[in-house]
Amino acid sequence: MESETRMAVTAPGVSAQQARRRHLWRHYSQNAVTYLILGVAVVILGLPFFWMATTSLKPIQEVVIYPPHWLPSELRWENFVEAWHAAPFDRFYINSVVTGVASTVLQVLFALFMAYAFVFIRFPAKNVLFLLVLATMMIPVEMKLVPNYLLLKELHWINTYWALIIPPAAHAFPVFVLHQQFRTLPKDLLDAATVDGATHTQILLRVVAPMSRPLLAAVALVSFVGRWNDYLWPLIVTNKVAMRTLPIGLAYLKETQEGGNRWNLLMAGTIFVIAPILVLFIFTQKQFVEGITRGAVKG
């Protein structure tokens, strides 16, 4: 700021006060444009959530009227109680937490060991195998549903936690992200650990993993959110209500026995689903942002 003011002062016919005014005007104009863009983005992204929250508190008569009312005439908190008892949400929560946590832990562990091997261990056809791992990301999810289902059927894993945990745990994207991160680590530190007699497992757990902790947290958060919101795979491998997860459980709230849509209860149930993820992100956003930043910068 001071350097720009000095440069302006040296210009003929421009006083220090005029230069300062021009600089402040430029600064405030840029900030105003930035805040305007951010404000529009907040409105666009936040409006659906606001509508969901207000709809969850409306009586059903106000949900379907036209023109729509943004705010409910009365707050019906009993919608949440009714939605909770309309389906076994306690069981859905247990299933989502168990499968989400277990699948995330396995996915991170698999990616951690595979990425370390591809970066720091020499073995035949390493680059070819890594390309094959990355090639699995090019296969559409829909093409893998039938063979995976037939395999799980032969293993008698249908309607079990194994079907909801094991297949999603094998994913190539975390391997690629950690692979890129491990390539940026200082080799001198790893060589020093090798000279001290550390094994590959000790180097991974005591050196590589602690240095990559923010990125591991980001990978784990993305993986958990993906498992928490997954709808198609749990729908295919489970047909018992007791094994359903939260995204599938929302379907039990939509229609009444008379065929009408209970949109207020559905919105209340949706809040049940997204609330844990919002709370989790609030407490881990620092690690998430730091991990994404590290993963995006290659040294």
Residues of the chain with pLDDT under 50: 1-10, 257-259, 295-299
* pLDDT value, residue 195: 85
* pLDDT value, residue 296: 46
- State the Cα–Cα distance between residues 63 and 204, nearest whole angstrom: 55
Radius of gyration over alpha carbons of the chain, in Å? 27
- State the Cα–Cα distance between residues 186 and 276, nearest whole angstrom: 37
Q: Which two tokens stand for residue 218?
A: 């980001």
Reported as a single tens digit per residue, the pLDDT across 86-98 is: 888 899 999 999 9
* pLDDT value, residue 281: 83
Reported as a single tens digit per residue, the pLDDT across 226-255 is: 999 999 999 999 999 999 999 998 888 876
